Amino acid sequence: MPSLKPVITWLNDHLAVRVLPEDEEWHVGYEVCFYRDYINHFLMDGTPSIRDKKVPGTDRPFMVKRTFDLALLHPDHIVIIEAKSKEGLSEKQLDTFEQDKEDLLALFKHNKVDVPQVHLILLSTEHYSQAIRSAVPRKRFNGNITWKEVADKAPIWGADAQTIHALLRADSLMGKTK
């Protein structure tokens, strides 16, 4: 796998504090069912099923079908990138992301493993990023990047013309009617 150093360096530029290690190995996951896969792999409380599990320290069940659009995984950091192109984020979705941070930390502590820092990054359109309504989501995320910014960097990262076109198209969707 090619080094993610250029991507991590770029992400650091979009975080409030430059904390992501740039010279170390990262793993990438798309549509990551983190809770389900983690519990299945590590047999939380002796069984692989997420269905009967509660978030440690609470009476809340884990969200069975919860997926993260993109996750960058490192022993000391988890970067969760939520991608939005056609719609913004509702207050309920924002609450869910904050709950995810707490749930991830509780899960790691429960399993007595080193607890990584969890960073939430919003990937949105320029329109949404600049709109007044996005001020609240941006405050609740650790960083905000746009599809256009990714498209602008994509050639440096080896993307082809078709990929760049798709990124720019994603950036153009917000605010359009059907």
> 106-159 pLDDT, tens per residue?
888 888 888 889 999 989 888 888 775 556 666 788 888 999 999 999 988 888
| Residue 36: Cβ within 10 Å count | 20
Strand, coil or helix: what is 121? strand
CA distance 144 to 32: 20
In this predicted structure, what is the pLDDT of residue 134? 58
Closest of 134, 161, 156 to residue 145, by C-alpha:
134
> 38-96 pLDDT, tens per residue?
888 887 777 777 878 888 888 888 887 889 999 999 999 999 999 988 887 888 888 88
| In the chain, % of residues over pLDDT 70 | 93
124 beta partners: 146
Q: Model's pTM, two decimal places?
A: 0.86
In this predicted structure, what is the pLDDT of residue 178? 45
Strand, coil or helix: what is 118? strand
Please state the domain extents for the chain.
5-146
What is the Rg, in whole angstroms, of the alpha carbon atoms belonging to the chain? 17
